[in-house]
Chain A
């Protein structure tokens, strides 16, 4: 009788461990997902869109032996006619070394008697050079609200990509201010 029981126990143990194999293989199916992503990344297949940092761009530029150079940056502002705001850059031009980050300030003042929300729209000329002027931080990324008579100095942090083709010596960064919404009341 005892022998029969241990016989049954062995059968039970075998079938349970086989069931465990099935459960593990179910998990393995899902493990294939990160495994696939990892393999693709290592082998450089099917690369998905990735974020690029300043350091990586500089490293890439160094690898290509692109020398840093100075580029003249001009800052221009326009305010729409319906808007009674003062809006101008604190410096009108500067010399930016490629690969280095620069910070410039823009002065804005609400001259009306009510709170106004605005959105600044940037544009860069010449157009083919636009993608080489990379803004890291900009007041144009979000809306600005100023109370009556309030003023503010707004920063832009940017760098010029060392890969900027040589024929571009000057880049012009222009901002136009637009009213986003009517004041309440």
Chain B
């Protein structure tokens, strides 16, 4: 079964547009995500160029706000989520010994909704009155009473994105639940699969709530309801509650698959099994549970009662416990391991240091009285970019470098990968570290102009942004270079790698594990 091409090769159009093969769909997701990384990244570079010095130079304030909104939405829904789903599509069937995803046609639909949803979202920039300009959090009444007409298109786009995620989540849960190879009990499940199972449940529970809240926005805007309008008996603070009921677990939807990747990469390059597998599983589940009950820590200044602030403050700080378990388990895995630092491991260790740093500023913002100062300042911007860029994005990079030889059958250019990592790791700190100081000094987020005393740190941050942004072209070049000129990779690829996917040749046959392997 080295070449199980059981049917004739099909045309390019049929192969990709009618794709039902998990490997093809995984590739589609990953390519789509990589493309959006450059779209969302370009938006960020315009933002940073405008902020290079005080005053208005490049864009007018409304366009600036639109860029901020689009950057957030594209990066969350167009880059991080599709990349994680792409990894899931490629890896879950390979790691549990299944021939494909459980619902291949639904899988096709899940992916092919995405490009249209993102195009619809992008088209709003060119509409009369400009694109949505109220930030990705879409707070009412900015997004209802005072929003441009194009907001309705954004709402529909979010409906589509949500639908895609929900279908993806159903597919992933069904696959993991029903299609594990014989003998693969729950506690033998690879940790990446575990994190995705928990993530998929989170998605299933929160994405419909997002769909609900944007539907309420739509009704308030067009059908005369008053969900968020105090004049009609509604309440704008309600929007924040419903949005963050979705929004906070969403952060963990992005983070948990990243944890999963790191939990695969670190043991491979430490040449030791993952330390405390069982606790990693429990930590994943408890993070997901806690994520559901901490949403109002985004709303400490919205006038919620002190008792509630206290509850949300303590429950938020409690998340540091399972997350800490994970961090210490990764360190314990590395401890006395036979370490080597190929690109995936570099990104994983970069993740470990910088994600933990972002976690610490997270604990700072969890403290309700202190958060009153941080709220809506650049400190918050710095915090979540450490967590999402040098955290989640680094983990995704790590996963791509780790599995790319398996997917393509060719080895990437290690030297280029190392350059990519070191330039990224240094520039990401030049980019985001000064933003902490700006925030603490009082610079608000989402403004195109600022007071003179913020000029120096903003200039430094913008220089970091340019280096970080253009460094990512190295990833694109390296991927293309690998596919064209990469040296042949072995099936095992990494000498320390353990798992079903490494028992297959590289690249794996189009249809793999048609006879399920037995796990002892």
Residues of A at the B interface (CB closer than 8 Å) are 7, 10-11, 14-15, 18-19, 21-30, 32-33, 36, 40, 43, 45-46, 48
**How does the 8 Å CB contact mask read for B201-228 relative to A, with 1 for contact and 0 for none?**
0001111111111011000000000010
| Interface membership of B118, Cβ < 8 A | no
B229-280 contacts to A, CB under 8 A, are 233, 235, 237-238, 241-242, 245
In the assembly, what is the distance between CA of A7 and CA of B178, in Å?
9
Residues of B at the A interface (CB closer than 8 Å) are 102-103, 106, 166, 169-171, 173-174, 177-178, 204-213, 215-216, 227, 233, 235, 237-238, 241-242, 245, 303-305
- Of A23, A29, A45, A48, the residue contacting B242 (CB under 8 A) is A29
30 of the cross-chain contacts (CB-CB < 8 Å) are: A11-B102, A14-B174, A15-B102, A15-B171, A18-B204, A22-B166, A22-B207, A25-B204, A25-B205, A25-B206, A25-B208, A25-B209, A26-B209, A26-B211, A26-B212, A28-B212, A29-B213, A29-B242, A30-B212, A30-B216, A32-B209, A32-B242, A32-B245, A33-B227, A33-B242, A36-B235, A43-B305, A45-B305, A46-B237, A48-B233
Chain A residue at smallest Cβ distance from B307: A43
Cβ A23 vs Cβ B208 within 8 A: yes
- Of B177, B204, B238, the residue contacting A21 (CB under 8 A) is B204
Cβ B238 vs Cβ A36 within 8 A: yes
Given contacts A14-B177, A15-B174, A36-B241, A29 and B233 within 8 Å (CB-CB)? no
Given contacts A25-B204, A25-B205, A32-B241, A18 and B212 within 8 Å (CB-CB)? no
In the assembly, what is the distance between CA of A170 and CA of B71, in Å?
68
A22 → B minimal CB distance (Å): 5
Chain A residue at smallest Cβ distance from B207: A22
Cβ B208 vs Cβ A11 within 8 A: no
Task: Given contacts A15-B170, A28-B208, list 18 more A-B pairs with CB under 8 A.
Answer: A14-B173, A15-B171, A18-B169, A18-B170, A18-B173, A19-B170, A22-B166, A22-B170, A22-B204, A22-B207, A22-B208, A25-B209, A26-B209, A26-B211, A32-B245, A33-B238, A36-B238, A46-B235
Number of A-B contacts (CB under 8 A): 78
In the assembly, what is the distance between CA of A32 and CA of B295, in Å?
14
Q: B residues within 8 A CB of A24?
A: 208
A130 → B minimal CB distance (Å): 27
Instruction: For the complex of A and B, list the 6 residue pairs with the smallest distance between their C-beta atoms, beginning with the closest.
Output: A29-B212, A25-B208, A26-B208, A29-B209, A18-B170, A15-B174
In the assembly, what is the distance between CA of A173 and CA of B440, in Å?
60
Q: A residues within 8 A CB of B237?
A: 46
Cβ A18 vs Cβ B235 within 8 A: no
Cβ A10 vs Cβ B178 within 8 A: yes
Chain B residue at smallest Cβ distance from A25: B208
Q: B residues within 8 A CB of A14?
A: 173-174, 177-178
Q: A residues within 8 A CB of B171?
A: 15
- Of B106, B173, B211, B235, the residue contacting A29 (CB under 8 A) is B211
In the assembly, what is the distance between CA of A7 and CA of B179, in Å?
10
In the assembly, what is the distance between CA of A19 and CA of B204, in Å?
8
Chain A residue at smallest Cβ distance from B175: A11
Q: A residues within 8 A CB of B238?
A: 32-33, 36
Q: A residues within 8 A CB of B204?
A: 18, 21-22, 25
Cβ B205 vs Cβ A11 within 8 A: no
Q: B residues within 8 A CB of A21?
A: 204-205
Q: B residues within 8 A CB of A28?
A: 208-209, 212
A171 → B minimal CB distance (Å): 34
- Of B174, B210, B211, B216, the residue contacting A11 (CB under 8 A) is B174
Chain B residue at smallest Cβ distance from A10: B178
Given contacts A28-B209, A29-B242, A11 and B166 within 8 Å (CB-CB)? no
Given contacts A32-B242, A32-B245, A36-B238, A15 and B103 within 8 Å (CB-CB)? yes
Q: B residues within 8 A CB of A45?
A: 304-305
In the assembly, what is the distance between CA of A45 and CA of B306, in Å?
11
In the assembly, what is the distance between CA of A29 and CA of B303, in Å?
22
Chain A residue at smallest Cβ distance from B171: A15
A4 → B minimal CB distance (Å): 13
Chain A residue at smallest Cβ distance from B211: A26
- Of A30, A46, A48, the residue contacting B303 (CB under 8 A) is A46
In the assembly, what is the distance between CA of A142 and CA of B194, in Å?
71
A120 → B minimal CB distance (Å): 30
Q: B residues within 8 A CB of A7?
A: 178
Q: A residues within 8 A CB of B245?
A: 29, 32
In the assembly, what is the distance between CA of A10 and CA of B102, in Å?
11
Q: B residues within 8 A CB of A48?
A: 233
Chain B residue at smallest Cβ distance from A24: B208
A65 → B minimal CB distance (Å): 30
Q: A residues within 8 A CB of B170?
A: 15, 18-19, 22
In the assembly, what is the distance between CA of A18 and CA of B200, in Å?
10
Cβ A18 vs Cβ B233 within 8 A: no
In the assembly, what is the distance between CA of A18 and CA of B103, in Å?
13
In the assembly, what is the distance between CA of A182 and CA of B453, in Å?
69
Q: B residues within 8 A CB of A11?
A: 102-103, 174, 178
In the assembly, what is the distance between CA of A30 and CA of B212, in Å?
6
Chain A residue at smallest Cβ distance from B212: A29
Name, among A11, A14, A22, A43, the residue most crowded by chain B CB atoms within 10 Å (CB to CB): A22
In the assembly, what is the distance between CA of A28 and CA of B305, in Å?
24
Q: B residues within 8 A CB of A15?
A: 102-103, 106, 170-171, 174
Name, among A14, A15, A28, A43, the residue most crowded by chain B CB atoms within 10 Å (CB to CB): A15
Name, among A19, A24, A29, A36, the residue most crowded by chain B CB atoms within 10 Å (CB to CB): A29
In the assembly, what is the distance between CA of A131 and CA of B265, in Å?
74
A101 → B minimal CB distance (Å): 30
Chain B residue at smallest Cβ distance from A18: B170
Name, among A27, A36, A43, the residue most crowded by chain B CB atoms within 10 Å (CB to CB): A36
In the assembly, what is the distance between CA of A33 and CA of B103, in Å?
35
In the assembly, what is the distance between CA of A36 and CA of B212, in Å?
15
